Amino acid sequence: MAFADTFKALSDPVRREILMMLRHGSLSAGEIAGQFDMTGATISYHLSILKKAELVRETKVKNYVYYGLNTSVVEEIMLWLSELKGGNEDDKEV
């Protein structure tokens, strides 16, 4: 995982919204697109960025493709941020 790709992927509000939609479970591209006033091509583009950043994983079930949140990458970012914040010993337990 490259942090550069991850943070770039997270910098877009549509992509952050897609990730939030996936937090309760995987969805198909159609189900995701249904929540946005955007073309399927635009949603596919955002999904490809999220996949490249490994924030989203693709699962194929028969003829359908589902997109799910990769929580381990989310955890890696959180770990890096805790390390950043951890410099102040008093804050460690917060």
Residue 62 within binding range of its own copies, rule CB under 8 A: no
Residue 94 within binding range of its own copies, rule CB under 8 A: yes
Residue 92 within binding range of its own copies, rule CB under 8 A: no
Nearest distance from C-beta of residue 63 to its own copies, angstroms: 26
SS3 letters for the chain?
Answer: CCHHHHHHHHCCHHHHHHHHHHHHCCEEHHHHHCCCCCCHHHHHHHHHHHHHCCCEEEEEECCEEEEEECHHHHHHHHHHHHHHHCCCHHHCCC
Contacts with its own copies, 20-49, as mask; x by CB under 8 A: x-xxxx------------------------
For its own copies, the closer of residues 25 and 62 by Cβ is 25
